[in-house]
Chains A and B, each alone.
Chain A
Amino acid sequence: MSKLQNAIVGGVRTAMGYVPGNWLPGGTPDPLIERRVTLGTQQSRVDGPDKVRGAAHFAAEVPMEGLLYAACVHSTIPRGRITELDVAAAETAPGVALVMTHRNAPKMAVPPPIGLTNLKAAGNNILPVMQDAEIRWNGQTVAVVLAETQEQADLAASLIKVGYEAAVARTRFEKAKADARTPDSLMIEKNRLKKGDVAVALQAAARSVDAIYRTPWHNHTPIEPNAATIAWKGDRLTVHDATQMLNGTAGSLAKVFGIKESQVYVSSPFVGGGFGGKALWDHQILGAAAAKLAGRPVRIALSRASMVRLIGGRSPTEQRVALAAAADGRLKGLLHHGFSVKPPHSACDEAFTLTSRSLYASESFDVVQHTIDLDVLANTFMRAPGEAPGTFALESAMDELAHELGMDPIELRRRNVPDRNPVSGAPHSQSDVMLAYDLGAKRFGWDRRAAAPRSRREGEWLIGMGCATGSFPYARMPGMTVRITLDGSGHATVSSAAHEMGMGTATVQRQHTADRLGLPLESVTVTIGDTSLPFGSFAGGSSQTASLGAAINAASGKLAVELLRLAGNDTPLAGLRPAEIEFVNGGLRKIGEPSRYESFVSILKRAARDQISVTGVSSAPLEMLKFSMHSRSAIFCELLVSDVTGEVRVDRLVGCFDCGRILNPKTAASQFRGGMIMGIGMALTEEALFDERTGRVMSASIADYHVPAHLDVPDIDILWTDIPDPRTPMGARGIGEIGITGVAAAIANAAFNATGKRVRELPLTPDKFLFA
């Protein structure tokens, strides 16, 4: 991102500073905050019965006549040129319909990158796809084989011989640091933050800490592999995809193949886990290209090995955090520097320093991060990009500082939590992290923690407690559109090209719509999951609920106008303006005058209409620029570390979340738990094995990348403050990503409390506790 962007965002922010809050979206608190009927109640997933029966159909399960199966051949060098390509044996192998290489691949444009400002793109790895002999990373697809069965395609792919002329490649993190770049901006923030003089603060501080923290490459590892079933009909393209960016994928594919967006149909009603990894990568493009060449539909379902070669992961980070504190714990200086990998063809900032710019008040700040360019597959967004590794470093450092000060870690945070954004001075829309700490500490039994490390032991097991703060910013995406169709029986159908990958999207928006329109749950259907529906922004940045919420709210306003118009004069509602009415009991009623009411059924019947339809759009999220909008959490962990083997066993986790109003406690608790469990994996086991000699990912099977198994997951207690955010639809902020943040730090802090050993490099595998 550029200096220009900084100037624009900075300019708008400055202007927003003078605009009264009530002029902005969310300026008047959403009335649903106070008027909840089904929102806030436990609701089981609407798609639960289909999912438990195996009747929910995923991308690789769409049947098609004449389907061909694809297999990929990947490069084995990181940089260079293809000099030899022998596909003869593959072409004549049983069942093979096509071998596609750069020699015969159709001409395709480079996929446009996913961006905060371009919701019609979903590209992650912004490089030409099979257009030349050039090799740009180890694992790039050099050939695609199509055959009648997957077995035949896989075998034929193994028969292809590729020769290379290798070029010098940049694959070593440490070495590439010397050439690191310093981008002007991160997401929509300026990268470099300097306020006061941290160096002086560190020298003068009563207590300080200064350490390096490291996190490795991570992979999303959804249980459903990335897959697509693809067909062309003339110049119309149909893609049954596993994606969290329906319209972005359609827009990108249209650009790649030089057709109109309206000629691309993407469907993805169920996604078997996304976490940032289900967007547009090379395989959909290659599958569509091959289908075009073969003139037959294609299923491209990636093997686990192909996934690590084609689906980027979370960048490794090396972070330096230095904290200077007065004797009373107040921060005098906060330094957060570091490196992550982001080649120029990547669209993702791993913005690990963002949290450090808003979480604590400090007299001085020195925050900046650098990006390293390697010849690798683009890194990408993975659950809480930035915040997940960033909170590990910052919140480990806070724990180290508390230890240095001899102060309770919660107390240290209490003394430093600001009442407004400590850098910009912008007011919080709502924030009460200390309430989260207080509620969580009580539930957890924090008062039973022994401050001195190695104080508790049961047999060979050392027992420790730790805590940390989690954080994730609020986001609402503009452009998200819904259509509400109200039929003659008073049933409302809400439709949008939104996504379901386990969040309970339809379940929650059904509750929302019911409450918004004054309907019982049974009278609302939510239809999502394909691009024939109104435009959907991505399922990312924990933004989908708020974006859909804003769109439904906007549509409901139009629905009121439309209903009043239809109702005409021969109604108790005659003469009323939209601002004077409310939705209630399946109809409209004058606020404060219950007798002036008419049901939807009656209005439509009198107007002789079978149904009416309106659309609503999520407006520009200017509130995000005026207010400091962050969700926070307090994470508590009790664990055991074997004094013999160094094995860590998490015994208990408590997470208390300050995320605005909780809309469906049942599905929300699951999302928080899910994030925290991914945090257990990040803390203890997850590490993609990148071979720096060759730039090749060696953890190519799911057995080589340890996501938590059942036995790794203890009972997890979830609480929330449930304080509405007056600036957001329904008073809610997104909850999909915050769960993972702070967890690795809480676990590492508890491990320090148990053992006295401070581990600053993830994951916390047994070997790291064996030696002093």
Chain B
Amino acid sequence: MKHLPSERHTLSIIVDNEAGVLARIVGLFSARGYNIESLTVADVSADHDVSRITVVTSGPPPVIDQIMAQLERLVPVHRVIDLTEHGPHVEREMALVKVAGSGDKRVEALRLADIFRARPVDTSTTSFVFEVSGSTEKVNQFIALMREVGLVEVARTGVVAIARGPEAV
């Protein structure tokens, strides 16, 4: 069943915010040979008891199902939601993109940033740091363009995602 075509899935994993829980999740992926394309984690409850981990993974549907089942087996996991399967949802990531240069390239970088609604959050006479957010493709595309106008380095958050509509998943 591992020969089926691979699909990209975004999972939300709601866990107890306790020591070692991230190691359990990440370790499960590496121990069983599952992919992690990106991973984000932060506590999301008022009392800091619960964290939400967003994992973008890929694999054939039976493997995705197996990933869900293995995650649900971990004791500190409250629930796992496959947002890709669940339906309409919003996925965003943010990147900080450092660009250095002068003259035309510097002007072009600023112009492109404007088109992508990327904000300069730091500047010197020879550089910018842009904050850009959006879908993974948009961030990828922005970074690709910046390579042509003096890209120095990139830091990106990985995907966070949430289902559309009024209900919690």
- Are A and B a genuine interacting pair, yes or no? no
Q: Which residues of A contact B (CB under 8 A)?
A: none
